[in-house]
Structure formats: structure tokens, C-alpha cells
Structure 1
Amino acid sequence: MSGTKQKTNRASFGNVRKLPSGRFQARYPDPAGRPMTAPQTFATKRDALDHIAGVRADRMRGTYRDHRAGDAPFGPYAEEWIANGGSRGRLAPRTRALYEDQLRRHLAPLAPMPLNSITPPVVRSWYAKTRKGLQASAKARGGSGETAVRQSYALLRSILATAVADGLIGSNPAQIKGAGIASAPERPYMAPDVLSAIVEKMPERYHLPIRAMFGAHLRLGELVALQRGDYANGLLRVERQVAIVRGIPTVTATKTGEERVVAVPRTLALLLDEHLDATSGFPKSPMFTRPDGEALTHSGIQQAWAKARKAAGHPQFHVHDVRHAGLTLAAQAGATTRELMARAGHRTTAAAMTYQHVAEERGVLVADRMDALAGAAFQTRVEERPAGTERVTGLQGVLSLEMVVGH
């Protein structure tokens, strides 16, 4: 009988009792005044009393978290999180579909578990098993599975971070360092002459679209979504994209949800003017079309590019590298980080900084310009060289955009 006798602590806020197992249980009223029990038992009476004192202090500070709130299963909470637009309150249709697929497939083992039972060891175990399974299934297709596991882990971490903010769990158990960070190597730089060689191997109807993708730094979905009314007087308005959502082409806002206006290079502007004059349509008609009059498609461009890059001897380049090449050239032409962000439609400087790396041609050009500006500062140290041994540098060694899109 004495083993279950209740004892009231000095603060009269809760009570402690010794269980038949020898451990101690702490009880206290919940915020509504109803009795509740601590989420765990304690080895000593002092530990149980300290827990009660901590709960009371948290209530007084306004930082108390009811552990019972985390009893909700992860699956329904994650579904609601996606339905409500994730952590930012809105999700692009393609992103929503991706998240729903990841929740249904890769995060399914965690779905029935209460939020407060998903601990760091549970997350690590799920991650290891999921990664192993994805690697095995991807190997048969010649892939690695790393992208899928990275995206799934990043989704799990974001959902649990919201659960922390909602007061359902005390801390985020997704603590695997680097697991949700993309580590793919930077794409190789495609020089303008290489781009030109590939474009020449494509059917003629793709020449101007690819050049527009290069000069206006368009994503593939933005390119196929262009309308005739989006261009005027050397300015291209980018306000939509065509995204493939569950296999269906869907017109949505741009990737960032924001419009942008890009001033295109002069030669590209002339080509676009000629194209619009030579073709007919309404302002909302597709800018670039197939022979049947329908808009170009992702798959059509990708298939034509894949054949052309092999024929040109450059199989390592993806069609997405066209945008990268254009932005790199803009950086080499002197565009600031802020200007690159505006032209590319980037939200963060980190994305724009990708194109700030300096190619060897740019370094030579900078050195030559220094030489021209320095004047006498270098002249006294330059030894006269035999005729015909001068190094050919300067602007002749740099391919301009006009040379690429206007040949």
C-alpha cells in the first residue's frame, strides 16, 4: 500500500508517487486544469519533483509545451502541411506533386508514427534504409538514387521544423549533417562556339528558340511557355512556365512565382523581330511552334538536343546548360550579381554567384585591359620581342554573343 501512496510537493502544483517498479511518476494539472501525467517516469523522487518544478516554470514563462500535442501521427500532419502550401504557404503544382509522391513512397514508414516518437535515431534508421533501397533500385537504371533520398530527407526536415514551430515537438530530430544538401558537381561550362556547333545540328525550327534560351537565360519551361506578346522592342517578359505535373503539361507561374523583363542582346532582338514579322498569330499565341502550329514541347526540344549534341561531338552537355552558358557569358560581360539575379529570375545571391566564376578567357581579357590602362607603369619592364612573337589576346580572343546568335 505504501508503494502507491501519493505525496504532494511543496509547491502544491503536482504530486509524485512511487510505482511498484521502484520508479517515480509525476502528475500535475494541464493548462485546462485537468490532471495529466508526465511523459516519462523518473529514477528518483527528486528527479520527478524537478520535472514538476520545470513544468510550472515553463507555464509561468509562457514557454510550456504539452507533450501530448505530439501524439498526432506524422502522416496526416504531413498531408495537411502539403495541402496548406508547406512552410511558405504556397507550393508550385509540380512541387506539390513531388512532395505528395515522396510522402506516399519514401516517407511512408514514418506515416503512422506519432510526431513525438520520431527521434534522431529513428530518422537515422529511416534514412539508412531508404538510401540503401533507392540506391539498389536506381542502379538498375544507371542512376544513384541520391537525388531522391536527398529530396525526401529535406521534405521530412521541413515538415518536422514546422512541427517544432507549432509546439508539437521540442526539437527537430532530422539532424543528419549534409543529408538534405545537393552535392552534385557544377555543370561544365559550354562555350559559345560549342553551343553554336550543337545548334547547327538541330532542325532549323529549334535554332532561334535555343538562341533565345541562351540570350534571355530562360529555363526550358519558360521557353516553351513564351507567347508572341511577350516580346517587344528588345525586351522579353517572362511571366509563366509550362511544368510537367504528373506527366501533364501545366501552365504555372515562373519557378520563383515572379515575373521579370530581360533586355536581350541586339542581334537576338533583330532575329526575334524578323521571326514575328515572318509569322502570324495573336499576342497570346505561342512564340515558337512546331510544323502543326502547336507550341514546342519539353520532350521535342530535349530529343532534338540529345541527337544534336552527339552529332556535334559534345554529348556531355544538357539542354539546361544553355541557360547556364548565357548567364556565365553575362557575368563575363560585366553583369553584377544583382543584375544576374534580375536577368535569371533568382531569389538569392547564392544562385547568381554560380555564374560569377571567371573563365580563362576572361582572365586574359582583364590582364590585357590592365596592360592598356597602366601605360608607362609596365613599359619600362617590357623587353622588346622579335617580330611575329606577340601574343594574340584582347577582344579578338573572346566570343561575343553577336557572333553566336547572328552567324
Structure 2
Amino acid sequence: MGHVEDRWFKEVPGPDGKPQRVRTVRYGQGLRYRVRYIAPDGRERSKSFPDRAKRDAEGFLAAIETDKRRGSYVDPNAGRMPFDEFAETWLRTRRFDESARGPIKARVRKHVISYFGKRPIGTVQPSTVRDWDVVLIGKGLADSTRAVLFAHLSGIMTAAVDDGLIVKNPCSAKSVTAPVPALKRIVPWTIDAVAAVREGLPPRYRTAVDIGAGCGARRGEIFGVSPEDFDFDDGWLTICRQVKRVGARSVFGLPKNDQERRVPLPDSVSRAVRVHIDEFPPVPVTLPWEDPRRDERVTVPLLLTTTFRTACKQQVFAAVAWHRALDGAGLERTRVNGMHALRHFYASALLDAGETIKAIAEWLGHADPAFTLRVYAHLMPDSPGRARKALDALFDGPSGFHGPATAQSGA
């Protein structure tokens, strides 16, 4: 057990043999009370308090002993580590998709580390986090950007809790409101727009529209599709890789969220892919797997390649093919009209057909069906309209029952 030491007084035997308190040589100098205790690692720790703060010292010791019994003890001195030092460690050791590591480092250093700097990490309180968010708003950052930065800061503080530097994550406090990005209302393309963009692409790239609009694949996943991924007999496409950029190099990698998925292969898409394979035979392409710095290389016969027999690069494809197709279809060259618009068309078509959100989320590769619902809820068929039709069909059925009005009339 620990104890509270009074450094201004000590007990010595009196003339009568009874202990008496006398002043020490430190009387009136420095902090009076010192709490001394043994930490879980077996080392002695101490903390000093001023004169007239004995109750505070005793309360601190009681809290320490309680935390030790509960297994939630945190060394009060651990929180002195500078925030920037710990954040850089987090950036170095945190597992990120290699294609995202560079942008994440840039964001964290520019908007998080630059603000908190060398402040001891233990002094970052909920009020500190709120002040930081106000600064981000003042810079004019979008809600979506602030939400991403808040997630990074929360991740850093959670790691500090795990490492025993702080007791609680200030980002999780009730008084802190996490930024929520405003979801833009998606207006899906019409089938005519999809067809016009497909027609405007060079023939060797047209099946990209088939796979995007007919199977819901992402852009990088479309570029990473191999004929080997199609089960033409049973009607399935396995999306098991993508082509993405890490720094200045193209690599193969797992789909987003590191999960393969199988999606239904419509007959129309199956036929279009077969025709494409006959006209443009697959080309074996060798790329690094995930990290270009590693020696691992993978060779895949790709369905879509450039005229130079290389994997498609997203920015180059947009410049030489996609933007021209948009122009021909009378669509603006905007972010909402990127290849992701094909996924929105796919989701809207399935919703209109009455498919469940859970199934659509699985086929789109969303980790959480709730996200799918938030993005596409406004595209779902009118629920009140469906309810009216269902009840009308029930009450106006073959039995001749014509609903509540008939019942009320006594017929």
C-alpha cells in the first residue's frame, strides 16, 4: 500500500518517550505532501501536493489504489509524451492500405499534428478537441474532410489509451460531437445515358460499362477483372482484386475493405464479356501485390488493357476515354459523372426491382448495410404507395370484400 508523506514535519521520540511532531529542514519550502506508492510494474512512483492539500493527496492515493485493483491504472507521468511524437509513431505502425498511406500522412500532419504539436498527450481534453474542430471549420474544410480528420485523431487517442498513456479517449466524450458528412443526394443515370457513354468509348473499353453498370464493380475492380473471375455457366462474377495506385506505381490489391465478393452475372453482361474476349483477347499483366516496395509480383490475364498491353491507369483512362464519352453523351465532366456513376445506376436498378438493402450492400462490397441505406434510401420505391397498393389488392380481392367502408355500412 502507498502512503502520504509530510515533508515539513516528522515524528521523533519525546522526553516522555511518546512521539512528537517536529519541523524538518524542509519546513516551509516546496511542496509539502508526497504520495508514494508501488506501481503495477513494481517500481515506486510519487506525486507531490502543496500545503493544505492533504485531502487531495489522500484522494489521489485512494484513486491510484482503486485503479490498481481494477486493472485500469495509468502512470500519471505517461501522459507527458508529446502529442506529435506519439502521432508519428501511430502513423508509422498503423496498418493502412498502401495506396492510402501517403494521403493519410499528409492530412494528419497538416491538420492534426500541426495543431496539437508538442502538447503533452495527457493534456488533450474534450474541450481541446472541440476547439480544434472549430479551427477546422474556420479553415472552411468540408464536413466530410472534418469527419475523416476526427476519425484519425480518435484513432491516435485510442492507441494512447491502449498504450497506457491516458485513461480515456477525449474524442469519445459526450460533450464532443463527431462531424458527420452530409450525404449528397444521388441522381442515377438513365439507361439511355449509360448506353450513350458506352457507345462513346473506344470498343476495347466498352465492356467496362457492362461490368460497372451490370455488376456494380468499382473502377479499380473493373480494371482488375480477369476472364478467370467469371463463372459463365452458373452466372457469377468473383471480384477478387483491383488495380490501384501506390505513389507513382500501379499495383494489384484486394478490393476495398480487403474482401472478395461474388455478384450475380446477368446474361446480357455475360454475352457482352464473351464478345469482348473474342475481339480483344486477355493480356497477361505482371504487377506488385499491394506494396511496390516488396518483391512479390502477380501475373493476371486482364480483361481490359491499354493499347500498350498494360493495366489501365485511372487518370489516363479518364483523360483519353471516359471524358470524351461523357462529352458525346452530353454529360458534364464532373466528379458525379465519374465511373462511380455506374455503381449508382446498378444500385438504383436493383432497388427499383425490389431487391433488399442487405443483398445490394453485399454485392456492392459495402462493409455496413446501414451505409448503403443512408446513401440510397431516397431511391427506394415509395413506401406509402406500395402500402396503398398492397391493401387495395387485399380488400378488393376475388372474395368481393371491398374494405373498411363496406364493413362500416353493415353490408
Give the match for residue 384 of structure 1: none
**Structure ID, larger Rg:** 2
In structure 2, C-alpha distance between the alignment counterparts of 1:265 and 1:61, rounded to whole Å? 58
Match of 1:56 in 2: 65
Percent identical among aligned pairs is: 24
CA contact (8 A) 2:351 2:380 kept: no
User: Residue 111 and residue 338 in structure 1: after superposition, are their counterparts in 2 closer, same or farther (change >3 A)?
Assistant: same
Residue 210 of structure 2 aligns to a residue whose secondary structure is: helix
Structure 1 residue 119 displacement after superposition: 2.3
1:318 to 323, 337, 343: 337
Contact conserved, 1:41 with 1:48, CA < 8 A, in 2?
no
Cα drift, residue 75 of structure 1: 2.6
- For the residue of structure 1 that corresponds to 2:370, the secondary structure is helix
1:366-397 per-residue CA deviation (whole Å, 9 max, x = no partner) reads 8778767754478969xxxxxxxxxxxxxxxx
Aligned partner of 1:76 in structure 2 is 85
Range 56-65 or range 341-350, more displaced: 56-65
CA contact (8 A) 1:150 1:182 kept: yes
Q: Does 1:201 align with 2:200?
A: yes
Instruction: Assess, with a 3 A threshold, how the Cα gap between structure 1 residues 357 and 272 changes in structure 2: closer, same or farther.
Output: same
Query: 1:262 is matched by which residue type in structure 2?
Result: V
Q: SS where residue 251 of structure 2 aligns?
A: strand
1:161 aligns to 2:167 (yes or no): no
Shift of 1:365: 8.2
Q: Within 5 Å, give how 1:134-283 maps onto structure 2.
A: 135=140, 145-174=142-171, 175=173, 177-233=176-232, 234-281=235-282
- The alpha-carbon distance between structure 1 residues 274 and 101, as it changes in their structure 2 partners (threshold 3 A), is same
1:292 corresponds to 2:294: no
How far does residue 347 in structure 1 lie from its aligned partner after superposition? 1.7
Alignment pair present for 1:100 and 2:117 = no
* Match in the other structure for 1:29: 37
> Do the aligned residues in 1 keep the contact of 2:31 with 2:50 (CA within 8 Å)?
yes
RMSD of aligned alpha carbons? 3.4
In structure 2, what is the equivalent of residue 330 of structure 1?
A: 350
1:219-243 Cα shifts (integer Å, max 9, x gaps):
1111111223222313222111122
SS at structure 1 position matched to 2:281: coil
1:266/1:298 CA distance change after superposition, 3 Å: same
Q: 1:228, 1:282 within 8 Å by CA — same for their partners in 2?
A: no
What does the per-residue CA deviation read over 1:281-328, in whole Å, with 9 as the maximum and x for residues that have no partner? Answer: 357222112333333221134334344335434436422121122022
Cα deviations across residues 311-353 of structure 1 (Å, max 9, x unaligned)?
Answer: 4344364221211220221232232233223211122121232
- 1:161 alignment partner, SS class: helix
CA–CA separation in structure 1 for the residues paired with 2:165 and 2:126: 16
Question: Size of the alignment, in residue pairs?
Answer: 357
Residues 1:346 and 1:204: Cα distance change in structure 2 (over 3 Å): same
Larger strand percent = 2
Distance 1:226 1:297 in 2: 14
41, 46, 55: which one aligns with 1:46: 55
Distance 1:356 1:155 in 2: 28
1:260·1:343 contact (CA, 8 Å) conserved in 2? yes
Deviation at 1:161, TM superposition (A): 1.7
- Take 2:393 and 2:134, find their aligned partners in 1: how far apart are those partners? 59
Q: Which deviates more from structure 2 when the two are superposed, residues 48-57 or residues 318-327?
A: 48-57
Structure 2's unaligned 5+ residue stretches are 1-5, 12-23, 285-299, 404-411
Preserved contact between residue 93 and residue 252 of structure 1 (Cα < 8 Å) = no
Residue aligning to 2:365: 345
Question: Secondary structure at 1:28's aligned position in 2?
Answer: strand
3-state SS of paired residue (2:36): strand
Mapped partners of 2:209, 2:47: distance in 1: 66
Q: Structure 1 residues 188 and 30 mapped into 2: Cα distance closer, same or farther (>3 Å)?
A: farther
- SS at structure 1 position matched to 2:256: coil
Q: Distance between the aligned counterparts of 1:222 and 1:232, measured in 2?
A: 17
> What SS class does the counterpart of residue 243 from structure 1 fall into?
strand
The structure 2 residue matched to 1:118, chosen from 113, 119, 124, is: 124
Q: Which range moves more in the overlay, 154-163 or 300-309?
A: 300-309
* 8 Å Cα contact 1:23-1:44 kept in structure 2: no
Provide the C-alpha distance between the structure 2 equivalents of 1:241 and 1:7, rounded to a whole number of angstroms: 74
Instruction: Give TM-score scaled by structure 1 length.
Output: 0.75
Q: 2:408 corresponds to which residue? A: none
Report SS of the residue matched to 1:107.
helix
Q: Which amino acid in 2 is paired with 1:305?
A: W
Query: For residues 160 and 363 of structure 1, do their structure 2 counterparts lie closer, same or farther at Cα, with a shift above 3 Å needed?
Result: same
SS at match of 2:192: helix
- TM-score (norm. length: structure 2): 0.74
Q: CA deviation at 1:63?
A: 2.5
1:196, 1:362 → 2: CA distance?
30
Residue 7 to residue 184, structure 1, CA distance change in 2 (3 Å): farther
